[in-house]
Chains A and B, each alone.
Chain A
């Protein structure tokens, strides 16, 4: 189980290290989203600028997460690799955990880059407030990766599936989005970690529920036929 998990994660990481397409694309998309939102909001400094920065960061997370999940599954379909994975005596739950792990690593990298870009574009400071963003953003990335990995398994099998992934993933992600934006705005406003606890709890609950749901339900999504 553990061996299978590490094997699949290693495969994905190696593929990424050799080609490096997904992470580059995710970072580029995050960059573009942030630029577009700076034009859209034209944020000044102060409270409002920080709130806009927090919102922009999470919009970037949703968009790059969607792209990442689609790419991760599409890469498996390109050379019929998914068939080999499903034919192997690999437990479906382990396969889900591995795909989730890989998706989370790529998203976490893209989010780290997005935080740096956000600080630059929105004229914020690199200080302890930026560090306090990390737990919320990483929990958000994990939750979105859990959700998107399960749903991408569905959308990749359906005609016009590219359309269906955002239609399903975005409404489901709303609780984490609310909690994440609130926590990020508070963190940027200088609130200590203890004050973010309520929102962090919502994010943890979201992650636990969706990782568990994906783990249990993935075997019904990934059936070879």
Chain B
């Protein structure tokens, strides 16, 4: 029952933070001078990207722990994180495209960060595909862990190679020399609130999915021991 209370509490927190983020994005924050109204999507785009990257890191860490300790709990965690991460990665691509059309004049360009995100998205689509094909067996969990780790190893070299290939993404928050691209303090505040809201949303969805997968694991164990008991009872 305690877990249930925590989940409901988290849900309420997510709702409150989301409303606050929406209020800040549409009411508080000033419109960016060069890009106009469309720049406001940035406050959802960046948190989605953060959630996607965080969950993919979680997939790899959970994979390592699963192979190391062999505890099903790690696989349930990794699987849940992969599902959530893929959805948010898709949202990053969609919100980015909506922003890029009026600003760059194209829905899609082969810029380094766009390409990296797309490849990540494809990698984790492959992961989910594998999981659904392998079924919920111990073997599927092992294969999922291996693919999760290999995908994470792939990410740094994807970033390097694609950056060498080309780059035109605006350098918000990452330029080394002077300024982070957000002049108004209200912009920074809005971004921080949006980040908090999406982080809470991520934890909440992850919890819900994780609990469901845990239940499935328990059910499978129970069904297994029930079948064993029935076999033992037979004369």
Contact = CB atoms under 8 A, between A and B. Distances in A.
A217 B161 contact: no
Contacts of B119: 171, 174
B164 interface: yes
Nearest to A174: B119
Interface string B101-124: 000000000000000000100110
A189 to B, nearest CB: 17
Contacts, number: 95
Interface in B143-157: 143, 145-147, 149-151, 153-154, 157
Given A167-B125, A171-B119, A171-B122, A205 B165 contact: no
A51 B146 CA distance: 35
Given A175-B157, A178-B162, A158 B130 contact: yes
A168 B130 contact: yes
Q: Which of B125, B157, B158, B160 has the most CB of A within 10 A?
A: B157
Q: Which of A217, A221, A225 has the most CB of B within 10 A?
A: A217
A174 B142 contact: no
Contact of B126 (A168, A179, A198): A168
Contact of B161 (A161, A178, A209): A178
A169 to B, nearest CB: 9
Interface of B: 67, 119, 122-123, 125-127, 129-130, 133-135, 139-140, 142-143, 145-147, 149-151, 153-154, 157-158, 160-162, 164-165
Interface string A142-182: 00000100110010011111011001101110111011001
Q: Give the dominant DSSP class at A's interface.
A: helix
Q: Which of A176, A178, A209, A221 has the most CB of B within 10 A?
A: A178
Contacts of A167: 122, 125-126, 129-130
Interface of A: 147, 150-151, 154, 157-161, 163-164, 167-168, 170-172, 174-176, 178-179, 182, 198-199, 202, 205-206, 209-210, 213, 217, 220-221, 223, 225
A79 to B, nearest CB: 22
Nearest to B149: A217
A158 B134 contact: yes
A209 B153 CA distance: 7
A200 to B, nearest CB: 12
A161 B130 CA distance: 8
B157 A220 contact: no
Contacts of B127: 168
Identify the 6 closest CB pairs spanning chains A and B, nearest first.
A175-B161, A171-B122, A167-B126, A168-B126, A175-B157, A171-B123
B78 to A, nearest CB: 14
Contact of B130 (A154, A179, A217): A154
Given A179-B161, A198-B164, A220-B67, A161 B154 contact: no
